Chain A
Amino acid sequence: MFIKRLILLCILLATSISEAESISKKGKIQEIAKIYSASMQYIFKNQTLINQQSPHKEALFGSKFIKHVKSTYQQKFNTNSFPDEKSLAIKVLLEVMIEVMEDNRTLILDEDINFKGFIPAIFAFQISERYSKKGIGIKVKFTNEADRVRNTFNNPDPWESKAIQKLKQHKLSEYYDENGLYKGVKSSRYMIPVTMSAMCLTCHGTPKDNPANFNSPSNEWTTFDKTGFPMENWKITDFGGGISVTIYDAKIWGEAY
């Protein structure tokens, strides 16, 4: 009788530990996606500062940039806190943001260039590329359905295509899969949708949304946006893409987390 009770207790304990680990993993992968999303929003809101002719752009570099990303995060997700910066994944992500901004310092401060092309998607891609090379077993990416992606490097993989369909069909605010596959390796995978805004439509919308056409008759409108891509005629209610986070190296859970 005693042994039976002991076995039952062990099973209950193991189940609750496993559930706690699962919740913790999801919380951590969520944090990465949310910080990445907040940083994109900060770049989005600061397009005027990025493109204007001014040497005073300190808010875009170093620790000041991170400070602004943190406050954007807190506003966006209605919280007073910020994820633990000592955890390896967060520490490296914030370092990568400083690296990317520094990479672009010459361009951002170039007073001879009016449109720098440093838009959220370009910033996000540079973050993704650098982050994936840090050898910490995490990949973060801004993706969309294959026919809606401009840079083929951002094409969704099979898991991401499935996640996008789930987000769209069920209007989910997130999609998490602890047993997802990434290049054949069992991985924790997570995606949140990106909401379309009026500013997105200046490039992805109809020629009517393009500021270059505002003072021209419709028969003279360009169908290309300011980055040189053909406009896609998207609407504000369309799916704006997804932020995909993959943790494919289980070691990351044990290290500094």
Chain B
Amino acid sequence: MTPKYGEKLIKPYILFFIILLTTSGVSAKTIKIGVIEHSPHIFVSDNKVHGPALDYLKAMLSKHFDNVIFTYLPTKRGILELNKGKIDLLFPISKTLEIKDYLPAALFHAVPGLCFNKEGFIPILSSTNQLDNLTIGVPAGVKLTPALVQSNAIIKAIEGSDVLFRGINLLLKRRIDSLYHPSPINIYHYTNPLSKKIACSYFHGYSTGLQIANSPNMDEADKIKLNDIYLGHLKNETYEYYFARRGNKQ
């Protein structure tokens, strides 16, 4: 059967569209990732981001995307840009009602704790009787662990802007005995000079997963593919183990 003239004309276009459809999607395009500062996993200097968490994700994504662009964003702006679809992903962020979609597993976990000047260090926080009558600075808006709520510590709210920075200063000036921090590893880590002045201990058992959030504008097929890429990479090596394996070569 000889094809009609119209069919002859249409066939190459159909073929073209089939090729276009199968090669588009997450496999050949740019992915924009908003990054929130979270040392020692993510460092920001001169508005540029670097660190082991970025190295890990870059290794994962560069196999599937032509361009992987990381941009430093403060948390609130990051959420706005994500929800507007200006960025595809935002990390690391704990689950919040302001964001609907996340990749299927936490990248790493944050454990809250208390920071002290070294001479007043308390290593084990489950012995809460040691917190009796200590003045503990708590940044406004940060949720306290039940262990601290139930203790006889004197809680002093730290209000205003940049509350963590203010809290650290209050601690260094000895105006508080301790500072509650949602993730003390941000400051008590050998990569941070503050670790020479202060020491922190943890409320183990109260960890929070830090996630990679998806833009709500992301195409459903792209989202599924990204989930598969992410889970495959985690199965090969989790970020937490990757970070630990690098040891002090961060």
**B-binding residues in A (CB < 8 A):** 61-62, 95, 98-99, 101-103, 105-107, 109-110, 112-113, 115-119, 122, 125-126, 129-130, 133-135, 150-151, 153, 227-230
Looking at the assembled complex, report how far the CB atom of A147 sits from the nearest CB atom of chain B, in whole angstroms.
Answer: 16
The 0/1 profile, CB within 8 Å of A marked 1, for residues 141-171 of chain B is: 0000000000000000000000000000000
Question: Do B190 and A105 touch (CB < 8 A)?
Answer: yes
Interface status of B195 (Cβ within 8 A of chain A): yes
Q: How far is the CA of A134 from the CA of B105 in the complex (A)?
A: 10
Provide the residues of chain A in CB contact with B248, threshold 8 Å.
61, 105
CB contact between B238 and one of A95, A103, A118, A229 (< 8 Å): that residue: A95
Task: Identify the closest chain B residue to A110 (Cβ).
Answer: B199
Q: Which 8 A-B pairs have the closest CB atoms?
A: A117-B123, A228-B127, A102-B244, A228-B130, A99-B244, A151-B126, A153-B205, A112-B118
Question: Do B245 and A98 touch (CB < 8 A)?
Answer: yes
Provide the residues of chain A in CB contact with B238, threshold 8 Å.
95, 134
List residues of B (8-26) whose CB comes within 8 Å of A's CBs. none
The 0/1 profile, CB within 8 Å of A marked 1, for residues 174-214 of chain B is: 00000000000100111000011001010011010100000
Provide the residues of chain A in CB contact with B130, threshold 8 Å.
228
Count B-side interface residues using an 8 Å CB cutoff: 32
Most chain B beta carbons < 10 A, residue from A103, A116, A135 = A103
Task: Identify the closest chain A residue to B122 (Cβ).
Answer: A228
Q: Kindly count the residue-residue contacts between A and B in the assembled complex, taking CB atoms under 8 Å apart.
A: 85
Interface status of B65 (Cβ within 8 A of chain A): no
Provide the residues of chain A in CB contact with B188, threshold 8 Å.
106-107
List residues of B (108-124) whose CB comes within 8 Å of A's CBs. 109, 118, 121-124
Question: Do B121 and A113 touch (CB < 8 A)?
Answer: yes
Instruction: Offer 19 A-B interface pairs, CB within 8 angstroms, sorted by A.
Output: A62-B247, A95-B238, A102-B244, A112-B196, A115-B123, A116-B123, A117-B201, A118-B123, A122-B124, A129-B204, A129-B205, A130-B109, A133-B106, A151-B126, A153-B204, A228-B127, A229-B127, A229-B129, A230-B129
Beyond A125-B204, A151-B205, 4 additional pairs, beta carbon < 8 A? A129-B207, A133-B207, A150-B126, A229-B124
Looking at the assembled complex, report how far the CB atom of A172 sits from the nearest CB atom of chain B, in whole angstroms.
Answer: 29
Q: How far is the CA of A98 from the CA of B199 in the complex (A)?
A: 21
Task: Identify the closest chain A residue to B201 (Cβ).
Answer: A117
Interface status of B240 (Cβ within 8 A of chain A): yes
Q: How far is the CA of A122 from the CA of B247 in the complex (A)?
A: 21
Looking at the assembled complex, report how far the CB atom of A253 sits from the nearest CB atom of chain B, in whole angstroms.
Answer: 18
Question: Do A62 and B124 touch (CB < 8 A)?
Answer: no
Looking at the assembled complex, report how far the CB atom of A65 sits from the nearest CB atom of chain B, in whole angstroms.
Answer: 10
CB contact between A227 and one of B105, B106, B124, B190 (< 8 Å): that residue: B124
Task: Identify the closest chain B residue to A230 (Cβ).
Answer: B129
Looking at the assembled complex, report how far the CB atom of A202 sits from the nearest CB atom of chain B, in whole angstroms.
Answer: 15
